[in-house]
């Protein structure tokens, strides 16, 4: 008997993108609709949680309709509804979770809650059909910096984490300090290309006793101190050099820890995930270092690095085929830990 295709309708609303997608068998994207709120949050220099929730409410139904129509499937043909239930902004998450529950109830479909970071990691399954666990994943987003061993589908072991700021947070804060605005990551990435990455020696922090952990707050302070001391001395600093030197400092630490993790665990497959994984400096350095160390490198396309629902559809599929189902009491969990099951 031929195996039936599994179609997941996935919903993502944990931060400032309202997104829905239809994914077939965990790897094939039939539609991936993202309604970004960046324009409105840019006015305030960062995400305003209350505005994010309201915009999700305004847009979510339309985004879901578009996802189904672009995929050319009806709600009846969907096998399960996947939804991000944490971590993220509680009000924003609630919009997706409530909508998913209502759809699951109304259409009598199973409901599968997904961890946002599991979604980011799963974006790699979409872009690399051949990728299968075990592998190491460097997760670098606006809220997280984790080194994870993906032992199997849905089985994660966190072996390194940030002690303070996430990598994306550091990018956003430094961008604000040099007047680039929000969101800072892509702007620093672009400006870096015009600067000299060796112009300023910023610190590469390590955490005593935890060689795979990260700390970015010292680096952020060093950049702010550099800018302030230039201002006090009335010296005009070169923004592109600051951006490039800062980015290099982040990249050096991320790359060396990721390669060390692969060597330590004797796993020769490394993936990258999360918004910061779109950074060209990180990608280029990892391609080079992985080649040197005989490690296979995997990265999602840019659109699948930043928040989207296709990645949630992929993660939901692997949970679904394992038999994971959530009830109508599924709630938003803003501080949900990776690997935690509720």
CA distance 223 to 172: 12
172 binds, among ligand KG4, Zn ion, none (CB under 5 to 8 A by kind): ligand KG4
Look at residue 110 and give its three-state secondary structure. coil
Q: Per CB under 5 A, which of residues 12..71 are in contact with Zn ion? A: none
Between residues 26 and 183, which has the closer beta carbon with respect to ligand KG4? 183
Per CB under 6 A, the segment of 167-175, 197-205, 217-225, 264-272 that binds ligand KG4 is: 167-175
Strand partners, 82: 10, 112
CA distance 73 to 311: 19
Per CB under 5 A, the segment of 44-52, 130-138, 140-148, 234-242 that binds Zn ion is: 140-148
Between residues 86 and 168, which has the closer beta carbon with respect to ligand KG4? 168
124: contact with ligand KG4 by CB under 6 A: no
CA distance 92 to 83: 12
CA distance 341 to 155: 11
306: contact with ligand KG4 by CB under 6 A: yes
CA distance 184 to 197: 17
79: contact with Zn ion by CB under 5 A: no
Q: Kindly provide the residue ranges of all beta strands, DSSP E only, lying in the chain, ordered along the sequence.
A: 7-12, 17-24, 28-36, 80-86, 111-115, 135-140, 145-152, 155-161, 269-273, 296-298
Find, among 59, 37, 61, the residue nearest to 49 by Cα. 37
87: contact with ligand KG4 by CB under 6 A: no
89: contact with ligand KG4 by CB under 6 A: no
With beta carbons less than 8 A apart as the criterion, state whether 241 and 196 touch: yes
143: contact with ligand KG4 by CB under 6 A: yes
According to CB under 6 A, which one of 275, 290, 317, 333 is a site residue for ligand KG4? 275
Number of residues interacting with Zn ion: please give it, by CB under 5 A: 2
Between residues 122 and 306, which has the closer beta carbon with respect to ligand KG4? 306
Q: Per CB under 6 A, which of residues 45..84 are in contact with ligand KG4? A: none
According to CB under 6 A, which one of 278, 309, 312, 336 is a site residue for ligand KG4? 278
Q: Which whole-number Å values give the CA distances from 191 to 21, 206, 290, 318, in the listed order?
A: 32, 26, 25, 39
DSSP 46: S
Q: Per CB under 5 A, which of residues 278..307 are in contact with Zn ion? A: 307
Q: Provide the binding-site residues for Zn ion, judged by CB under 5 A.
A: 141, 307
Residues that bind ligand KG4 (CB under 6 A): 15, 141-143, 168, 171-172, 183-186, 189, 274-276, 278-279, 306-307
């Amino acid at each position: 008997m031929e195996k039936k295709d599994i179609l997941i309708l996935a919903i993502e609303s944990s931060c400032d993108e309202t997104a829905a997608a239809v994914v077939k068998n965990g790897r094939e994207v039939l539609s991936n609709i993202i309604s970004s709120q960046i324009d409105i949050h840019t006015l305030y220099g960062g995400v305003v949680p209350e505005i994010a929730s309201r915009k999700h409410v305004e847009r979510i139904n339309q985004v879901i309709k578009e996802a189904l129509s672009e995929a050319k499937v009806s709600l009846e043909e969907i096998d399960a509804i996947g939804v991000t239930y944490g971590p993220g902004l509680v009000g924003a998450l609630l919009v997706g979770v409530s909508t998913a529950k209502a759809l699951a109830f109304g259409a009598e479909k199973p409901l599968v809650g997904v961890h946002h970071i599991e979604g980011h990691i799963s974006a790699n399954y979409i872009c690399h059909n051949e990728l299968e666990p075990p592998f190491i994943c460097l997760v670098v987003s606006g809220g997280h910096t984790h080194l994870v061993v993906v032992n199997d589908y849905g089985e994660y072991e966190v072996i390194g984490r940030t002690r303070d700021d996430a990598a994306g947070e550091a990018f956003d804060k430094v961008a604000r300090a040099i007047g680039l605005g929000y969101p800072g990551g892509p702007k620093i990435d672009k400006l870096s290309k015009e600067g000299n990455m060796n112009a300023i020696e910023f610190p590469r922090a390590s955490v005593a006793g935890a060689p795979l952990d990260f700390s970015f707050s010292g680096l952020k302070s060093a950049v702010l101190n550099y800018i302030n001391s230039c201002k006090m001395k009335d010296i005009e600093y070169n923004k592109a050099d600051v951006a490039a030197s800062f980015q290099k400092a982040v990249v050096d630490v991320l790359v060396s820890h990721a390669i060390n993790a692969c060597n330590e665990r004797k796993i020769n497959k490394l993936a990258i995930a999360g918004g910061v994984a779109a950074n060209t400096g990180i990608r280029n350095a990892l391609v080079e270092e992985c080649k040197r160390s005989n490690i296979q490198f995997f990265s999602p396309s840019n659109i699948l690095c930043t928040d989207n629902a296709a990645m949630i559809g992929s993660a939901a599929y692997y949970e679904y085929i394992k038999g994971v189902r959530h009830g109508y009491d599924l709630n938003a969990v803003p501080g949900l830990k990776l690997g935690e099951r509720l």
